[in-house]
Amino acid sequence: MPDKKMRTILFLLQKEFLQIMRNKSIRVMIFVMPVIQLIIMPLAADYEVKNINLSIVDHDHSTYSAQLISKITASSYFKFAAYNQSFREAFILVEKDKADIILEIPVNFEKDLIKENKAKVFIAANAINGIKANLGSAYLASIIRDYNMELRSKLIAVTRYNPVPVIEVPSSNWFNPLMNYYYFMVPGILAILVTMVGGFLSALNIVKEKEVGTIEQINVTPIKKYHFVIGKLIPFWILGNIIFTIGLLVAWLIYGIVPVGSLLLLYVCISMYLLAILGFGLLISTFCETQQQAMLVMFFFMMIFILMGGLYTSIDSMPNWAKIIAKFNPAAYLIELIRMVVLKGSGFKDVLPHIIKLGIFAVVLNSWAVLNYKKTN
C-alpha cells in the first residue's frame, strides 16, 4: 500500500514539474528575480548613513569656533553643504533638502568657554529621516566631545586644575569589522527573496486550478487530500532551494559573502522554512477564488512579514505587542537564522530553537491547508 501512495504523489509531482517548466512567468521568477533583487536591492536599500550634509552657522568667528569647524569638516562623516550667515538661511537649505544638519555656534562661544567654563552649541537635525538625524547628531556630538577633550588638556596644562579621571572606551566590532553594510543586508534580502517567491508561487497555484476549472477534474478522482497538497508542496520546495542556491551564488560572486557557518546547516534552515511558508501560501490558496484575490491577500501578509521581520529595524526596539506579533512571523526567524549562520557562524545548537519553531509552523499551516481544501462542498 505505501507503494501505491508513493506512486500517486510521483504522478502529481511529474505533472507539477511539467507545468512549472512550461510557465514563462515562473521561469522569469526563478532566474531573474534572485539576480535583480540581490543586485539592485542591497545597492538601493542602503540604510548606511553617509553623505550627511552639514551646514554651519558661526556667529562667533573666534579662534576656537574656527578650530572646531575645521575639525568637523576634516572628518569624513560630513559633507560640507554651506557656510551660512543666519539660522534662517541654513533652515531654507533644510527645507530644500540641501542640508540635513545645522550646527550653530552662538556669539561669545569662546568667551563663555573661557570665562564661564562652559559654552553651548546648537545642533538641529532634519528628523524626517530619523536614522540619519540620530546618527548624524551623535557623530557631530562625538566630534565636539573630542575637540572638547583636546582643548581641555591643552588649557589644563597651563592653568592648574586637579587632574580629572578619564574613562576610555575602546570599542571593537565583531563579525563585520569593516562595518560593510552589504554583509548585513544581503543575507536578509536572501531571506526575503525565498519568502516572496515561495509565498506567491504557492498562493497562486491552487487558485489558478480553481479559476481554470481543472480542480473539478481532480476533485472527482479518489485522490487523498493530503496527497494533493504534498504534490503541490514538494515542487515548490525544490524550487525554493534552487532559488536560494542561485541567491547564495550571486551573494558570493558579487558581494564576496561566503557563509562563515556550515552550508549544510544553512540548507536545513531554508528547507524547514520553505515548508512553513509554502504551507502558508497553500492555505491562502484554499481560501481564495481568484488569482487577483490570492495575490492581494498574499501581498498583505508579505508586507507584514517583511516589515516586522527585523530586516531594516530591529525587533528589540519594537513595543511589546509588536514583539508578540513578530513571534508569529516565520520570516523573522529566517532572517535571523540566515544572518546567524552566514555572518556569525552559529552552530546547530544555536539555531535549534528557531528550527523547532519553524517546524511547528510547517506542521500547523500544512495541516490547516489540507483541512481547508474541500473536495466536496
Partner 1 sequence: MKCFTSWQGVQKEKNSIKKVMRMKQFLTFVQKEFYHVLRDKKTLLILFGMPVVQILIFGFALSNEVKNSKIVVMDQAKDISSQKLINKIEASKYFDIEESIHSQGQIDAAFKKGAIKMALIIPAGFYQNLVHEHKAQVQVIADASDPNIATALTNYANAIVQDFQTELNTGFEMPYTIIPETRMLYNPQQKSVYSMVPGVMALVLMLLCVLMTAISIVREKETGTMEVLLVSPFKPSLVILSKTVPYLLLSFIDIIIILMMSVWLLGLPINGNIFLLLAVSVLYIITCLSLGILISIKTTTQQAAMMISLMGMLLPSLMLSGFMFPIENMPVPLQVISNIVPATWFNNIIKAVMIKGLGPSFIWKEVLILTGMTLFFLFVSLKSFKIRLA
Partner 2 sequence: MSDTVIQTEKLTKRFGDFIAVNEISFSVNKGEIFGFLGANGAGKTTAMRMLCGLLKPSSGNAQIAGFDIYKQTEKIKQSIGYMSQKFSLYEDLTVLENIRFFGGIYGLSNTQISLKSKKLVDELGLQQEAKKLVAELPLGWKQKLSFSVALLHDPKIVFLDEPTGGVDPVTRRQFWEMIYEAAHRDVTIFVTTHYMDEAEYCNRISIMVDGKIEALDSPSHLKQKFKATSMDEVFYQLARGAKREE
Residues 290-319 that bind partner 1 (CB under 8 A): 290-293, 295-297, 299-300, 303-304, 307-308, 312-314, 316-319
Distance separating alpha carbons of residues 146 and 168, to the nearest angstrom: 12
Greatest alpha-carbon span in the chain: 97
Q: Which of the residues 19 through 78 are near partner 2 (CB under 8 A)?
A: 19, 22-23
175: left (phi > 0), else alpha (psi -120 to 50), else beta?
A: left
In this chain, which of 164, 213, 316, 320 binds partner 2, going by CB under 8 A?
213
Nearer to partner 2, 176 or 221 (CB): 221
Q: Which stretch binds partner 1 (CB under 8 A): 1-9, 116-124, 225-233, 272-280?
A: 116-124
Using an 8 Å Cβ cutoff, are 49 and 79 in contact?
no
Which x/- pattern, by CB under 8 A, does the window 6-25 give for partner 2? Answer: -xx-xxx-xx--xx--xx--
Is there binding between residue 173 and partner 1 (CB under 8 A)? yes
Is there binding between residue 190 and partner 1 (CB under 8 A)? no
Using an 8 Å Cβ cutoff, are 205 and 218 in contact?
no
Using an 8 Å Cβ cutoff, are 122 and 104 in contact?
yes
Is there binding between residue 324 and partner 1 (CB under 8 A)? no
Nearer to partner 2, 59 or 225 (CB): 225
Distance separating alpha carbons of residues 239 and 241, to the nearest angstrom: 5
Residue 75's binding partner, choosing from partner 2, partner 1, none, with beta-carbon cut-off 5 to 8 A by kind? none
In this chain, which of 165, 213, 222, 376 binds partner 1, going by CB under 8 A?
165
Residue 301 C-beta: closest distance to partner 2, Å? 28
**Cell numbers describing residue 60:** 562667533
SS (H, E, C) 21-34: HHCHHHHHHHHHHH
Using an 8 Å Cβ cutoff, are 129 and 52 in contact?
no
In this chain, which of 219, 262, 271, 372 binds partner 2, going by CB under 8 A?
219
Distance separating alpha carbons of residues 193 and 198, to the nearest angstrom: 8
Is there binding between residue 214 and partner 2 (CB under 8 A)? yes
Using an 8 Å Cβ cutoff, are 61 and 94 in contact?
no
Using an 8 Å Cβ cutoff, are 239 and 194 in contact?
no
Residue 331 C-beta: closest distance to partner 2, Å? 31
Find where cell 514539474 sits: 17
Using an 8 Å Cβ cutoff, are 331 and 191 in contact?
yes
Residue 10's binding partner, choosing from partner 2, partner 1, none, with beta-carbon cut-off 5 to 8 A by kind? partner 2
Residue 8 C-beta: closest distance to partner 2, Å? 6
Residue 12 C-beta: closest distance to partner 2, Å? 8
**Interacting residue ranges for partner 2, rule: CB under 8 A:** 4, 7-8, 10-12, 14-15, 18-19, 22-23, 212-223, 375-377
